[in-house]
């Protein structure tokens, strides 16, 4: 027998609440026992009843959200305090906006930025929209009419903003313009598109800036060479640092050895002229220069690309680049050393593009463990190694590792150990690095191995099936090389931690990160045998043209569609940056979508994509989960304080802002689904705020 406290789901009318306990086998209890149980029941209800909210204090600071990740450092933190632990339960929907861009394979994963009093964001097909930040009313829209040929899953995660100085003018011209209106396009929005263009728009009107490139745009295909439809795109926002706008690009995984290269480029924010280009080749090879490209050369092909968000330290003049894999992902026998800078965080000089340092998180990556997370910059808190104020950087990875580095040198703040990893058993022509880097602190977010006794199933039937599947695979723990018979890749190639990255509260010295632990099966199959595998239940085949092998990838699931690993499948973790120790961990998500009747009560976490934010109000806001829920956690304890049910899952990072002293703080999340994860698409941007104040409630 027992008592299970359950939470009623949130609705648009308010947050979830604790409801009456469900009594298990109560009909079998003796009368006195039932009486005692009723007494406990009443006490539980009294203890869990929410207090009547008192008058709301609307005071607090004013702050914006100038970058997709909050600031140039990528911290995903806000100093706002109007919404805090004590009043977050009263949050209500303030407005919602639907863009109309809700194609069947689209995923709205965007985080808007605040430009003046406008929210500016992009839709999955790269339409840029400006909204009134307090009402959600549309002000302008720009549609670049992107070519979507070859695009599997249209995504745009954000735009960038810059204030651009006017070019110097001769004295007579300067005098003539002294009383002229403010220059055209002084405030501009930068957009990278799915068909590889960089576009500059006037932030007040959405009209292309005529002095940028050719009529407001430049092609990012210059110097890239042969590109197939949908193979070279921008899904993450460009980075503006000083008078440079810096771009990376997504290069489709696993297609061919000579895929487009991963060059990083910086353009002048006013003219669009190329300022520098970093060709990511090893030290023993000469990079291709911008001058050579202007003369008709092509940047080195097959190099590691940077598809996720970049960050920068403007004071130190550094751009931080998280790199992916050299091509192809799961067979390194044909890379010819081009993976020397892959799966790394690289510091570049913002003015010249020269590499200052790099730190590699995976050697000779065979697992698609590219660095998907934005590097996040902070200064070490009191009590940390090296002393308070030491410039630092946090780099999360798909392995569930978080490397804390000195951001000026790349040296680890806590020791990193090179440990022996599984060897042998690889296909002909392949090599395996004998060791891999493991951080000692923070400790890994996930187990490093799926032991046979830990293989899981919801019922004895699918548990038995999972054990049979795992027994037939190579399974020696993290960094087990891909093999012909199939290897367990755990954590899976989606993470660990993906593009949602981490949030850092610079005042509290805490890092918060969401992660998942969903293993994959990766098989490397001789090309001549691959055709016989068509039509199987394996998902994701990579042709790896130019090699003797095809790669087959599938999530490790039972035929019921349930994970073969024990829960939690998604979690939220808080880490003390001074000590590197874990403060708390909490499951992230429930099974409402998998089991609509009772799944909401199984707090086992779900696969998740998207990121968290922290506020000075002591809160963590995050969507990311498969259960269509937007949550607020207590940053000190990891307790859920508020939740709202969304039209579809929110695989985006939220943002927050307050425009004026007499205004409300808004928290905004994009609910757009996730096509690859099977979550239905939508096109909704929703803003939450405290209730409108009554006349008797003073605002600061």
For the record, the structure tokens of 17 come out as 């609440």
CB 250 within 8 A of CB 192: no
CB 569 within 8 A of CB 607: yes
> Which backbone phi and psi does 554 adopt, to 5 degrees?
-150, 145
For the record, the structure tokens of 454 come out as 């830990």
Report the alpha-carbon distance of residue 317 to residue 263 in Å, rounded: 19
DSSP state of 338: G
CA neighbor of 346 nearest in space, from 275, 266, 407: 407
Q: Is 532 helix (H, G, I), strand (E, B) or coil?
A: helix
CB 514 within 8 A of CB 588: yes
CA neighbor of 482 nearest in space, from 518, 524, 435, 526: 524
Q: Is 23 helix (H, G, I), strand (E, B) or coil?
A: strand
CB 319 within 8 A of CB 348: yes
Q: Concatenated DSSP letters for 424-466?
A: --PPTT----SEEEEESSSPPSS-S---GGG---SSHHHHHHH
DSSP state of 75: -
For the record, the structure tokens of 70 come out as 């909050």
Q: Are strands 232-233 and 250-251 parallel, antiparallel or unpaired?
A: antiparallel
Q: Concatenated DSSP letters for 185-214?
A: TSEEEEEE-TTSEEEEEETTT--B-TTTBB
DSSP state of 374: P
For the record, the structure tokens of 74 come out as 């990528």
Q: Say if residue 50 is exposed, middle or buried (CB neighbours under 10 Å; 0-12, 13-18, 19+).
A: exposed
In Å, how far are 51, 132, 167, 579, 662 from 692, measured between CA atoms?
A: 20, 17, 45, 42, 11
Report the alpha-carbon distance of residue 691 to residue 208 in Å, rounded: 38
Residues 6+ apart with CB under 8 A from 8: 16, 17, 18, 19
Rg (CA), the chain: 26
For the record, the structure tokens of 519 come out as 């293993």
Q: What is the C-alpha end-to-end distance of the chain, expressed in Å?
A: 53
Which one of the listed residues 313, 368, 627, 683 is annotated catalytic? Answer: 368
DSSP state of 100: S
Report the alpha-carbon distance of residue 611 to residue 599 in Å, rounded: 23
CB 320 within 8 A of CB 310: yes
> Which backbone phi and psi does 527 adopt, to 5 degrees?
-55, -40
H or E element, residue 291: helix 290-294
CA neighbor of 69 nearest in space, from 624, 515, 394, 501: 501
> How many residues comprise the chain?
700
Is 368 assigned a catalytic role? Answer: yes
Provide the annotated active-site residues.
Answer: 368
């Amino acid at each position: 027998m027992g008592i299970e406290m359950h939470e009623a789901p949130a609705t648009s009318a308010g947050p979830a609440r604790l409801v009456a306990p469900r009594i298990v086998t109560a009909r079998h209890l003796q009368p006195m026992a039932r009486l005692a149980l009723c007494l406990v029941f009443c006490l539980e209800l009294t203890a869990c009843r929410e207090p009547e909210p008192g008058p709301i204090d609307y005071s607090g600071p004013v702050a914006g959200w100038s970058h997709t990740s909050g600031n140039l450092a990528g911290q995903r933190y806000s100093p706002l305090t109007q919404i805090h632990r004590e009043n977050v339960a009263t949050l209500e929907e303030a407005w919602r906006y639907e863009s109309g861009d809700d194609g069947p394979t689209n995923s709205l994963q965007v985080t808007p930025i605040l430009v003046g009093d406008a929210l500016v964001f992009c839709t999955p097909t790269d339409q840029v929209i400006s909204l009134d930040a307090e009402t959600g009313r549309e002000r302008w829209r720009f549609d670049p009419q992107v070519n979507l040929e070859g695009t599997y899953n249209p995504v745009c995660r954000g735009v960038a903003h810059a204030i651009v100085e006017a070019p110097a003018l001769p004295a007579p011209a300067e005098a003539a313009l002294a009383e002229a209106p403010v220059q055209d396009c002084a405030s501009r929005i930068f957009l990278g598109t799915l068909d590889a263009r960089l576009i500059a728009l006037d932030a007040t009107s959405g009209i292309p800036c005529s002095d940028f490139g050719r009529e407001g745009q430049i092609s990012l295909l210059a110097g890239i060479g042969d590109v197939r439809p949908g193979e070279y795109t921008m899904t993450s926002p460009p980075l503006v640092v000083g008078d440079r706008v810096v771009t990376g690009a997504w290069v489709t995984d696993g297609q061919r050895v000579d895929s487009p290269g991963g060059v990083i480029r910086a353009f002048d924010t006013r003219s669009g002229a190329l300022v520098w280009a970093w060709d990511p080749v090893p030290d023993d090879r000469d990079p291709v220069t911008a001058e050579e490209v202007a003369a008709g050369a092509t940047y080195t092909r097959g190099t590691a690309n940077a598809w996720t968000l970049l960050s920068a330290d403007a004071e130190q003049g550094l751009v931080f680049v998280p790199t992916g894999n050299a091509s192809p992902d799961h067979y390194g026998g044909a890379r010819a050393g081009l993976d020397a800078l892959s799966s790394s965080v690289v510091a570049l000089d913002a003015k010249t593009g020269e590499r200052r340092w790099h730190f590699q998180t995976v050697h000779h990556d065979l697992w698609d463990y590219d660095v998907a997370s934005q590097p996040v910059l902070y200064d070490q808190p009191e009590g940390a190694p090296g002393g308070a104020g030491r410039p630092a950087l946090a780099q999360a990875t798909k392995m569930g590792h978080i490397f804390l580095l000195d951001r000026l040198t790349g040296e680890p703040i806590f020791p990193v150990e090179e440990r022996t990893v599984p060897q042998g058993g690889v296909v002909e022509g392949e090599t395996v690095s004998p060791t891999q880097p493991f951080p000692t602190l923070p400790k890994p977010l996930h187990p490093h191995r799926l032991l046979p006794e830990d293989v899981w199933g919801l019922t004895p039937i699918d548990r038995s099936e999972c054990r049979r599947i795992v027994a037939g695979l190579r399974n020696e723990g993290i960094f087990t090389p891909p093999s012909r018979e199939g290897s367990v890749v755990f954590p899976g190639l989606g993470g660990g931690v993906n593009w949602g990255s981490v949030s850092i509260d610079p005042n509290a010295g805490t890092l918060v990160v969401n992660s998942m632990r969903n293993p994959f099966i990766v098989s490397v199959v001789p090309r001549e045998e691959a055709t016989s595998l068509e039509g199987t239940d394996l998902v994701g085949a990579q042709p790896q043209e130019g090699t003797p092998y095809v790669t087959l990838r599938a999530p490790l699931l039972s035929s019921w569609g349930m994970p073969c690993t024990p829960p939690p499948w998604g979690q939220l973790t808080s880490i003390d940056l001074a000590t590197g120790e874990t403060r708390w961990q909490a499951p992230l998500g429930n099974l409402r979508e998998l089991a609509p009747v009772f799944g909401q009560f199984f707090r086992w976490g779900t696969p998740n994509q998207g990121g968290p934010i922290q506020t000075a109000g002591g809160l963590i806001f995050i969507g990311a989960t498969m259960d269509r829920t937007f949550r607020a956690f207590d940053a000190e304890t990891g307790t859920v304080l508020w939740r709202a049910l969304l039209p579809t899952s929110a695989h985006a990072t939220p943002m927050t802002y307050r425009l004026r002293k007499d205004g409300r703080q808004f928290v905004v999340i994009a609910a757009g689904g996730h096509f690859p994860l099977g979550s239905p698409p939508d096109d909704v941007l929703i803003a939450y705020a405290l209730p409108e104040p009554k006349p008797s409630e003073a605002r600061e």
